[in-house]
Copies of this chain bind each other. A is one copy, B any other.
């Protein structure tokens, strides 16, 4: 059923022949690709249906709730969430319109903007958290042994480090 799609690799820059993935590597990579899609789709749907928040909005609330004074610079927030600045601006604008966060220009650095969690935002987070935690337990944690979960954490930290190192 699965025939090799490509057996004559085209040339890459100078003389660098590409080593293809073997069957096991292929399968693992494919499982990661599909598994993450299925997982995040399910988590997003659970949260959306249960609380009206998207995963991204929820993450914004979480990060702010953990910050001292419940305040973070927009750029720091963008960095933590791995979002573009532009994307974060839009997301935060919507959340500000809904009263979950508020913005004011930073006192330290006139260029910066501070984003603060409002009481309403905190209340919304407290309401959403049990729904989300239950969802994560059911979809992710329940599917793995404790060791598998922790190994998975280690692996993704390594991946994260590798990717960031490769473009500094």
A36's contact among B6, B41, B156, by CB below 8 Å, is which? B156
Interface of chain A, helix or strand or loop or mixed?
A: helix
A163 within 8 A of B: yes
Residue interface mask A59-102, B partner, CB < 8 A = 1: 10010011010000000000001100000000000000000000
Q: Is the CB of B148 within 8 A of A31?
A: no
A160's contact among B38, B82, B130, B153, by CB below 8 Å, is which? B38
A113 within 8 A of B: no
Residue interface mask A143-168, B partner, CB < 8 A = 1: 11000111111111111111110110
A-B contact pairs, 20 of them (CB 8 A): A2-B66, A5-B66, A6-B126, A6-B129, A8-B126, A9-B126, A18-B129, A19-B133, A21-B141, A24-B153, A25-B141, A31-B157, A32-B140, A38-B159, A39-B163, A42-B163, A139-B159, A143-B162, A148-B155, A152-B155
